[in-house]
Amino acid sequence: MPDSHLEGVDDGDDLSLDMPPIELNLSPEVCGVRLDKVLSTLVPQYSRSRLQQWIDAGHVSVDGEVARAKMTVYGDEKVIILPQPAPEDEAFKPEAMDLAIVHEDAEILVLNKPSGLVVHPAAGNWSGTLLNGLLHYLPSIAGVPRAGIVHRLDKDTSGLMVVAKTLIAHTDLVRQLQARTVKREYLAMVWGTPNASGRIDASIGRHARDRIKMAVSENLTAKPAVTHFERLATGMLEGRPVSLMLCKLETGRTHQIRVHMQSIGFALVGDGLYGKQHLVPVFPRQALHARRLGLIHPVSGEAAEWSAEAPQDFADLITRAGIKTY
């Protein structure tokens, strides 16, 4: 591919909204080649998929006209690209939000996460996450890996999380999690009536057919996972038996309680991913709340513990099931 005239090309892939356009004067040697292929060669600092996105969104013009997807060039055109930030480029930006802080000191912050809040930016959720809120609340936390987030809760799971405010606290909390000394207790409502108590020791890995889901697995890539459960009370929803469970984690695998309880035949109420679809409308999210968190303070070395009552929607569900005490 011959040399072309480029103006305002950045060496990296970090963009700002005021980045100048990229101008290309094509040469005859590219005659008959698709535009996206030409651009991926002439502007290699951007991926072909990103260039295609810009074409599809109307941010690329050829001789003053908006470029068309899969168009072929003839080699004497002038192409102008207006670079746009990708969603992930905005992921680690501060955003104001209300944080339900249960405890805060110089080293750690404990908060009660509401259901519906994504913890960390990822595909489909590049903004509006807890991480964005933490960066706004405490700008200095940007110097701590993942803005101090050492463990996560699913988007629709409510409850307690600890966040490290310093690198020393982050390192110590990660070690505590690896050593399985952090105490995490959850309230969960499941369909059916499990045994009064039990221990589930079953490794969890990515589901073999559905990559969105996790599953109990004997695959070598699966990670050890242990959940202890206790039945606190029983009730009825929509004419079906339900049980309010206390689940304690030894490990913290993705979707662990949801997968483990489903694996023994007792899916969580409201769980659209692992439960029965015809029962999902009973509750708009998985009935899971992290109600107690215990750990060793990373600096003082003292044992600390916090608790958070079930949020209103979960409390209402418990009432609907006819459960009065637990």
Q: What is the pLDDT, as a whole number, of residue 88?
A: 67
In degrees and rounded to multiples of 5, residue 149 shows phi and psi of -75, 120
Q: What is the pLDDT, as a whole number, of residue 19?
A: 67
Q: What is the pLDDT, as a whole number, of residue 11?
A: 28
Residue 23's beta-bridge partner residues? 80
- What is the block-wise mean pLDDT of the chain (326 residues), using blocks of 10 residues? 31 44 92 91 86 92 91 92 77 92 98 97 87 96 93 97 96 95 98 98 94 93 97 97 98 97 98 90 96 97 98 98 91
Q: What is the pLDDT, as a whole number, of residue 4?
A: 33
Long-range contacts of 95-102 (CB under 8 A, 24+ apart): 95/127, 95/128, 95/132, 95/133, 95/135, 95/136, 96/133, 96/136, 97/128, 97/132, 97/133, 97/136, 99/133, 99/134, 99/137, 102/160, 102/306, 102/308
Distance CA 44, CA 182 (A): 46
Q: What is the pLDDT, as a whole number, of residue 266?
A: 98
List C-alpha distances in Å: 210 to 203, 206, 259, 273, 274: 17, 8, 14, 10, 11
User: What does the DSSP 8-state code read for residue 267?
Assistant: P
Q: What is the pLDDT, as a whole number, of residue 14?
A: 34
User: What does the DSSP 8-state code read for residue 114?
Assistant: P
CA-closest candidate to residue 184, choices 217, 212, 151? 151
CA-closest candidate to residue 295, choices 107, 115, 123? 107
Q: Cα 200 from chain centroid?
A: 25
Exposed/middle/buried for 293, CB within 10 Å: 0-12, 13-18, 19+? buried
Q: What is the pLDDT, as a whole number, of residue 124?
A: 80
HSE-CB at 18 with a 13 A cutoff on CA atoms is 0
Q: What is the pLDDT, as a whole number, of residue 7?
A: 27
Q: What is the pLDDT, as a whole number, of residue 234?
A: 98
Q: What is the pLDDT, as a whole number, of residue 85?
A: 75
CA-closest candidate to residue 83, choices 169, 17, 7, 140? 17
Distance CA 169, CA 134 (A): 16
Q: Is 56 a catalytic residue?
A: no
Q: What is the pLDDT, as a whole number, of residue 277?
A: 85
Domains and CATH numbers, the chain: 22-85 (3.10.290.10), 87-179 (3.30.2350.10), 180-326 (3.30.2350.10)
- pTM as predicted: 0.77
Q: What is the largest CA-CA distance in the chain?
A: 80
Beta strand 303-307 with 226-237 is unpaired
Residue 292's beta-bridge partner residues? 185, 307
3-state class percentages of the chain: helix first, strand second, coil last, to nearest 5: 25, 30, 50
User: What does the DSSP 8-state code read for residue 83?
Assistant: -
List C-alpha distances in Å: 246 to 84, 280, 286, 306: 48, 21, 15, 16
161 with 289: CB under 8 angstroms? Answer: no
Q: What is the pLDDT, as a whole number, of residue 316?
A: 97
Please tell me which residue in 10, 11, 14, 154 is annotated as part of the active site: 154
